[in-house]
Amino acid sequence: MDNSNVLIVGSVAFDTIETPFASVEKALGGSAVFASMAASYFASPRVVGIVGEDFGSEHFNRLQSRGIDTTGIKTVRGGETFHWAGRYHNNMQDRDTLDTQLNVFEGFDPVLPGDYRGSSHVFLGNIGPDLQAKVLDQTSDARFVGMDTMNLWIAETAGKLKNVLRRVDLLFINDEEASQLSGEHQMLNAAERILELGPRFVVIKRGEHGALLIGESVKPLFVPAVLLRNVVDPTGAGDAFAGGFMGFVAGADAIDRGTLAQAMVTGTVMASFAVQEFSVDGLLQLETAQIESRRKALASMIDFE
């Protein structure tokens, strides 16, 4: 593991998931959890989040077992942790939200511990842009900042979101959100419009259809998804992708096309492990050899020599 650190700010949650094949109740989840688990194989994650008193030591232990610094997770006495419930359709892509209980997350006010403020790399999960800006106001030495967003913030807080976009290096966004933010339905055009808003790079996530990176200083990069025979729970895929990407970048010496290409492959691979189990179980006890084997298998899919 590289000594570089990644500050990850986002939700820490309990997820209740139903699929056509199985279900799980109040399993460990949230954007900060999936991202930090994936990043932990390549760098040292530091998490800022908020939980209730129902978030017991066993959940902290799971995070800490991966070397994740949980000092920045605030516990609200008497409070309850953010809870989301959803049901997936037969295609394991479309889903319906059954229940959302923000609980203590509704009052989330990210305050960074002193040593977190000098983090070399920062990932802002899809929290509100006002909170993302507050995190950036508390960091000063970050070499690379990535952020996520969602359709709610694009629709309701577009002005604040665009202010944050001017302050980051990379935006992670899915294809529907990219169209919503840019007003463009062709992904290359959408990416170019988003770059005009400020970030140096944009990664458009397209689920089973792979991911695309566009930047002003690099040729476009496309990485296909890992071919899987069995998908158990897609909930944390996007956050695991971002965590794997940011973790790899944190351990790299430079931000060039080669690094970004490897980061895209790494993010894709970590997302593929995440969806093969409920919750973070697919990311909890991986071996380096497993990750490398899947990276090579993905690379071989696009090797035309």
Residues 6+ apart with CB under 8 A from 133: 160, 163, 164, 167
Residue in the block written with tokens 């992670």: 172
pLDDT of the residue at 217 = 83
Nearest to 69 by CA among 131, 119, 105, 107: 119
Average pLDDT score over residue span 217-237: 93
Q: Three-class SS of residue 18? A: strand
- pLDDT for 54-99, tens place per residue? 999 999 999 999 999 999 999 999 999 999 999 999 999 889 999 9
Q: What is the mean pLDDT of residues 29-56?
A: 97
Kindly report each contact of residues 127-133 with a partner whose C-beta sits within 8 Å and lies 24 or more positions away, as own/partner: 127/9, 127/10, 127/11, 127/31, 128/153, 128/157, 128/160, 129/153, 129/157, 129/160, 129/161, 129/163, 129/164, 130/157, 130/160, 131/9, 132/9, 132/164, 133/160, 133/163, 133/164, 133/167
Name the strand (E) or helix (H) holding 301: helix 288-301
Residues 114-134 pLDDT 10s: 999 999 999 999 999 999 999
For residue 1, pLDDT beyond 50: no
165 lies in which domain range? Answer: 5-301
Average pLDDT of 141-169? 95
The tally of domains found in the chain comes to 1
State the pLDDT confidence band at 5, using cuts at 50, 70 and 90. very high
Domain at 108, CATH number: 3.40.1190.20
Between 217 and 275, whose confidence is greater? 275
Give yes or no for residue 252 having a pLDDT over 80. Answer: yes
- pLDDT bin (cut points 50, 70, 90) of residue 265 is very high
What pLDDT score was predicted for residue 2?
A: 40
125/119 Cα distance (integer angstroms): 16
Give per-residue pLDDT as tens, 7-39: 999 999 999 999 999 999 999 999 999 999 999
Listed in sequence order, the residues at least 6 apart from 24 whose beta carbon sits closer than 8 Å to its beta carbon are 15, 16, 17, 233, 278, 279
